[in-house]
Structure 1
Amino acid sequence: MDARASELTLTEARRGAEEWFAPWVKDLGLVVEEIGRGRVRLRIPKNDRLNRMGGILSGQAMMAVADTAMVFAIRSCLSGGENIATVQQSTSFFRAVADADLICEARVVKEGRTTMFGDCLLHADGQAEKPAAQATVVYAVIPNR
């Protein structure tokens, strides 16, 4: 375990959902369902405002959810004094999500001193065996000066 680690509690993560993000991210309505060291599970309730034509959840919303989920997963590995910033995200889409909540399960794959790597799987609620998308994300860890 990294000496800087201090696991983020579910209460702290839920408070962070209200404090850490821009208003439009909060408008996604995300719910932190589970959190542990280096992992998080978010739920995005079905919301027609996030859909594109045809009633399908937009890829842009799914990408934002994956990036947001990684914030929680990474912060659960840090002491709290560091800032973090997205460096790269690559998302692959496998199937549409329609008329269902979106679940995003994110995990830190590699913890580095200055860079962290993560993976997110997204699926419609109740369909974990049928991933809708996968995102790999790289974050910079920026120490406070």
Structure 2
Amino acid sequence: MTEQTSALLMDRNELTEFLAVVYPQFAGQITEVTLEHTWLRQPIDISHLRPGGTVSGPTMMALADVALYVAILSRIGPEALTVTTDFTCHFLNKPVANAALLAKATLLKLGKRLVIGEVELYSEGQDMPVAHVVGTYSVPPRR
């Protein structure tokens, strides 16, 4: 694997096109990609809500997982088989049911085979995070 610590290997447009092919079920948008973090936005509709009028845990976890995947790919390039090996989600506050969900992903360690990152999830327009995620991803060896 080449050195990925100092440059983006995929920009927002390239990542959006890549996700459309390898993960077409993602209905959100990549809104920002930098060396420091990535931001994704997931519109929320009734299909994302659970009883009690809150965004479901699976919706929040899926967005966090994609956000970390995008952050990793931005640094290593188009490796579709980069997979989650560990994922811990702490639900902190009730998300707003009629607001989009925002995910800010940051990489903590970018290794040759393992990457560790964290995600803060927010309801759009709110300052307090609704969840905090830490995940580890396995990067396939280069051939």
TM-score, normalised via structure 2 length: 0.88
Alignment-derived partner of residue 100 in structure 1? 99
Percentage identity across paired residues of the two chains: 27
* Offset at residue 57 of structure 1 (A): 0.4
Residue equivalent to 2:15: 13
Moved more, 107-116 or 11-20: 11-20
CA–CA distance in structure 2, aligned partners of residues 140 and 65 of structure 1: 18
Task: Sort the Cα spacing of 1:126 and 1:19 in 2 relative to 1 into closer, same or farther, 3 A.
Answer: same
Instruction: Tell me if the contact between 1:87 and 1:139 (Cα under 8 Å) persists in the aligned partners.
Output: yes
In 2, are the aligned partners of 1:7 and 1:36 still within 8 Å (CA)? no
RMSD of Structure 2 on Structure 1 (CA): 1.8
1:89-120 superposed Cα distances (whole Å, 9 cap, x missing partner): 00000111121110000011111111000000
Separation in 1 of the partners of 2:13 and 2:125? 25
Alignment of 1:128-139 (within 5 A): 129-139=127-137
Q: Aligned pair in 2 of structure 1 residues 72, 55: CA closer, same or farther (>3 Å)?
A: same
1:74 paired residue number: 72
Give 3-state SS (helix, strand or coil) of 2:84's partner: strand
Secondary structure of residue in 1 paired with 2:115 = strand
Q: Is the 8 A contact 1:119 1:137 kept in 2?
A: yes
> Which range moves more in the overlay, 87-96 or 4-13?
4-13
Any conservation in 1 of the 2:73–2:79 contact (CA below 8 Å)? no
Segments of structure 2 that go 5 or more residues without pairing to the other structure are none
Normalising by structure 1, what TM-score?
Answer: 0.87
Q: Confirm or deny: 8 A CA contact 2:37 2:104 kept in the other structure.
A: yes
Q: Closer, same or farther in 2 for the Cα pair 1:113/1:82, shift >3 Å?
A: farther
Decide whether the 8 Å contact of 1:38 with 1:77 is kept in 2: no
Query: Is 1:119–2:118 an aligned residue pair?
Result: yes
